[in-house]
């Protein structure tokens, strides 16, 4: 059910917060052994939170989120609850504080069902690099969920929560949403505080929302957006009220379709489904504008250089001294650090650290990292030019549907190239939303993305909602 409908049922006492929470917990117990979407299930505390929420409802002081059960990606700090980043390094880490987004939602008596599985330290595109085992797609458990927010997307698709918080560094909310047949929103960089989000690439990371619909993503975004003095990159430009344009007339909008996103490498079934969505908007009355993003061919290279360089810096804090895994091997300080990092990090994380350190080395900095930052500037300029001609941009979310587990994990280059349609949004700091626009011959969901101007989440949510209202979405059959 939609979050607004659940809110109405709770307020009308058609169901209690405890009953609603228990239903989701029962679903988790019954179904998640086949999906592995959760790392930590907070059954006892969730029921206690639900009782507290019900008292708030009974007193007539309920807010929009009181009693709504959500899941939270396991790289978002939660007071007193393990936050592992799906890693051995932080296997037993219990944060002494809440991330800002959690402070805001807890103040509204939301119910946290648990922490969801992910790629280790959010590094990966399949949710198979987790120390706690990979996540399986609810549409076909032999296939991946996408990553790194694969557990969050799977938990929504399998009805193991009402909505989920994830994080998006290069498509980590949108690609899993595409693979799992749900809706994922990556807000504008700075619209939501990153305080308490364990950093991967600080200039690209953004907390996002995964839910059953565009309207639901806006509904939850209303509870987490806003300036935060604890986050130096937080912006005061966010306006909130992200569902205010839902149901409004979008037929006069101009929708840009970039030719570079429909070239070689795009699966034919996906191309057909996304172009059918373009035709839908055209019949609706929208003006379709041909646009171009020439720097797309350089985007993946720039993204992996920037993100890996920042990851190498951010992950240097995990040294076996302050917190996290401490190795029992070694005779001196240097051995302790070396062995702690060797034992605590998985192969993909080590690969990114090595790539990042190489790019930042003296003699290579100008050739690699500096050129990557120039591509970032160029992409921002190209997007600015596009949004002078149109209101939103429509693209495929991923070049394929969910692939078989084990099919790409051993080929990092192939996996990195799968991010080609999502990384430009993070590089440019723009908002984007992915929703299902069709199904392939195997019945797997196909995702399309709508990209908007900075801090214009309202428009892309409204445009996405209009499509969803007329699209027959199929639920995952477990």
* 254-258/38-41 β-pairing: unpaired
Active-site residue (options: 16, 37, 71, 73) = 73
Separation of first and last alpha carbons in the chain: 18
Q: Where are the alpha helices (DSSP H) in 140-213?
A: 150-157, 174-180
From residue 460, how far is each of 217, 456, 467 by CA, in Å? 11, 7, 11
* Cβ-contact 86, 205 below 8 angstroms: no
* Cβ-contact 344, 88 below 8 angstroms: yes
Token digits of residue 173: 């909310």
Q: How many CB atoms within 10 Å of residue 359?
A: 21
* Cβ-contact 90, 317 below 8 angstroms: no
Active-site residue (options: 148, 178, 238, 434) = 148
Token digits of residue 294: 């020439």
Is 474 one of the catalytic residues?
Answer: no
Active-site residue (options: 37, 87, 172, 238) = 172
- Angle of helix 296-314 relative to helix 371-386, nearest 10 degrees, comes to 130
* Cβ-contact 127, 147 below 8 angstroms: yes
Q: What are phi and psi of 427, to 5 degrees?
A: -60, -40
Cα–Cα distance for residue pair 382/27, rounded to 1 Å: 46
**DSSP secondary structure of 206-234:** -EEEEESSHHHHHHHHHHHBS--TT-TT-
Cα–Cα distance for residue pair 446/155, rounded to 1 Å: 18
Torsion on CA atoms 30, 32, 38, 40, rounded to nearest 10: 40
Is 338 one of the catalytic residues?
Answer: no
Cα–Cα distance for residue pair 292/450, rounded to 1 Å: 15
Residue corresponding to tokens 């700075």: 190
Residue corresponding to tokens 């998006």: 168
Is 104 one of the catalytic residues?
Answer: no
SS (H, E, C) 320-368: CCCCCCCCCCCCCHHHHHHHHHHHHCCHHHHHHHHHHHHHHCCCCCHHH
> Which residues are catalytic, by number?
73, 148, 172
């Amino acid at each position: 059910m939609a979050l607004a409908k659940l809110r109405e049922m709770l307020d009308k006492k058609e169901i209690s917060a405890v009953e609603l929470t228990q239903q989701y917990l029962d679903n988790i117990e019954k179904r998640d052994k086949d999906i592995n979407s959760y790392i930590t299930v907070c059954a006892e505390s969730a029921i206690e939170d639900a009782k507290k929420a019900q008292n708030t409802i009974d007193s007539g002081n309920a807010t929009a989120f009181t009693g709504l059960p959500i899941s939270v990606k396991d790289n978002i700090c939660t007071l007193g609850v393990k936050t592992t980043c799906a890693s051995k390094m932080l296997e037993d880490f219990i944060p002494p504080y809440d991330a800002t987004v959690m402070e805001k939602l807890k103040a509204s008596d939301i119910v946290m069902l648990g922490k969801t599985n992910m790629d280790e330290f959010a590094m990966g595109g399949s949710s198979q690099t987790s120390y706690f085992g990979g996540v399986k797609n609810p549409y076909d458990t032999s296939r991946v969920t996408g990553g790194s927010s694969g557990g969050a997307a799977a938990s929504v698709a399998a009805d193991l929560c009402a909505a989920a918080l994830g994080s998006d560094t290069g498509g980590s909310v949108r690609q899993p949403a595409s693979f799992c047949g749900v809706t994922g929103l990556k807000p504008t960089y700075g619209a939501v505080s990153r305080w308490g989000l364990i950093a991967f690439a600080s200039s690209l990371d953004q907390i996002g929302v995964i839910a059953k619909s565009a309207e639901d993503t806006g509904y939850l975004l209303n509870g987490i957006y806003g300036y935060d003095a604890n986050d130096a990159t937080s912006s005061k430009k966010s306006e909130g009220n992200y569902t205010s344009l839902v149901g409004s007339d979008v037929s006069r909008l101009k929708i840009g379709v970039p030719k570079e996103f429909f070239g070689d490498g795009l699966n034919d079934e996906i191309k057909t489904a996304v172009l059918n969505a373009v035709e839908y908007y055209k019949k609706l009355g929208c003006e379709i504008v041909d646009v171009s993003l020439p720097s797309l061919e350089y985007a993946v290279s720039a993204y992996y250089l920037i993100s890996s360089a920042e990851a190498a810096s951010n992950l240097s804090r995990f040294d076996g001294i302050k917190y996290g895994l401490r190795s029992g091997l070694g005779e001196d300080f240097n051995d302790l650090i070396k062995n702690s990092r060797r034992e605590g990090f998985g192969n993909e994380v080590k690969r990114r650290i090595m790539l990042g350190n190489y790019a930042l080395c003296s003699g290579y900095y100008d050739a690699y990292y500096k050129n990557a930052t120039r591509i970032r500037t160029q992409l921002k300029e190209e997007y600015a030019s596009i949004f002078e001609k149109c209101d939103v941009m429509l693209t495929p979310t991923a070049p394929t549907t969910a692939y078989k587990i084990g099919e790409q994990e051993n080929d990092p280059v192939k996996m990195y190239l799968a991010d080609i349609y999502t990384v430009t949004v993070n590089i440019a700091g723009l908002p984007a939303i992915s929703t299902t626009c069709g199904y392939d011959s195997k019945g797997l969901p196909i995702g399309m993305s709508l990209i908007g101007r900075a801090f214009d989440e309202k428009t892309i949510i409204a445009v996405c909602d209009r499509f969803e209202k007329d699209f027959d979405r199929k639920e995952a059959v477990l």
